[in-house]
Amino acid sequence: MKCPKCGYDGCQIISETQTKGKDYSVGKGCCGALFLQSWFGLLCGFCGEGKKTTTRNFWICHNCGHKFKA
Ligand SMILES: [Zn+2]
């Protein structure tokens, strides 16, 4: 994979895990919605479910350190 920033051809894929929902409340849900600018955070706050783990894959450039979505 080539880096879109510097063109270096040697990017490595990494997985980033985010955990959401720990001690979640409606208030936090609202804050989350504001920060994420998404209704998704608000929805999670309201349903009040436990932990939610999201795994995302990113490419990382070893030349310039640029990180971009897979
Ligand atoms: Zn790069």
41 part of a folded domain: yes
CB atoms within 5 A of ion ligand 1 belong to 3, 5-6, 8, 61, 63-64, 66
Q: How many angstroms separate the CA atoms of 38 and 49, rounded?
A: 18
Q: What is the pLDDT of residues 16-70, one digit of tens each?
A: 888 776 555 545 554 554 555 555 555 555 555 566 788 889 999 999 999 999 8
* C-alpha 51 to ligand 1 mean position (Å): 34
* C-alpha 56 to ligand 1 mean position (Å): 19
Taking only Cα atoms into account, the Rg of the chain, rounded to an integer number of angstroms, comes to: 16
Structure tokens that stand for 46 in this block: 């309201």
Q: What is the pLDDT of residue 6?
A: 97
2 part of a folded domain: no
What range does the domain containing 65 cover? 12-69
22 part of a folded domain: yes
The structural domain count of the chain equals 1
